[in-house]
Structure 1
């Protein structure tokens, strides 16, 4: 009897998050309002790397710690970075690449994505609003990215805790759009490189896709590292980046799907009791309007 497929991660495709599996199992789409229930298997293992359109399984099936945020063992991480756009080990990639600005609520970042991926990378990163600056070669895209970070202090990375905190009480869509447009105006002051053509600026608000309320979202608990045979269940009320917000009998639970990767997950009947561990999240201290 073959073992059940393991979760390889959560990806966004056609504006919809999908659970990806280590085997040939089709991706599982996740939609706002869905009632989901999954039961974990008995262990967690590295799922191997994606290369040339297919997943290469981990040759040693290395066990992963329950608290690890990701599906790869150290050896597979090294292999993954050896052929990675993010690690600058694929600078000869001939595809068209786009440079974007992404607003994450409290920080704006600049980044690069393959143009044919559209907004998928922005959704996977949980951008609340975004705008494409330009498109062209990868080498020139890297040059634009470095220009922005050095000239304007724009970061190329925003951590997951920072993003989650910003979701508690995010700026309005109009405020985010204004900040992105004001930053984009600075391109005229840069020594713009050949190989990247400016695009007409269009700011997109991604929060309706996520189901993120305008006044923010405040989970009561967070999913703890899984233990064998734990059950995750509930109704999806918000899905952003690789996070699911589940309405459960325990209240609103934030489930980081990176804690699921590497586990075999078996679909269960919706409504199955939530038995996985959860950790309380302290109530946020938000600024109050002055009384006088």
Structure 2
């Protein structure tokens, strides 16, 4: 079904981009991008409802296509208020708490359900549709999923492309607002500069097959950047006074380590972050970690 295709596209965004426990990219909660998402979703919904005619729209208005356009515009804009309210709440919440991918997915599911409930109630109470309410709600959820998830997926791809394009332009032009001495630069396997991050914002680096994920704070929100390179090569290139190898899969900013804990599961390093980030220490590297902190 069409709504299932839209749902599949949206879910793929999560499985391809990152682990569901990672925070969402910062660009998803930027004010200007939220405005773009609301406007694009409203426009898509308006076009969709006039072409596809879901939600029992044939019952709505009998004054020709222009009458339907005017009437459906009012209904769509009213329904999109669900998204407006939801995204305003998300924007303010994200300033205080990082939003993880799994919670973002749940958030979107609630948006779909609330908007679907609005349209089902409109059909039942205003249009006096005599169909069984749960049947109308089920159909409304299917159509609303398509109305929301398709534009959400398209905009996620656009925001991601635009964000990477902007960062690359900054790197190529050398237009940094930070002192270059405070920056740690990351190159890919070909030696091309891909990312520069302030030392105090760097958290840790995780190996991911032929890639690494660089974790850092962006506007106090944990963010990651996928880089084609190996952890072994980065370890040799990065400053020794900043990073320490504590595991075959992790390099960590030792200046942010707040606590070393030995538990039944093993030894862990805790970063001075909110929420606390815990990185395991393997037996191979435990002596190296202790030596670095006792010297």
Same fold (TM over 0.5): no
Which structure has more helix as a fraction of its residues?
Answer: 2
Taking structure 2 as the reference length, the TM-score comes to 0.27
Which structure has more strand as a fraction of its residues?
Answer: 1
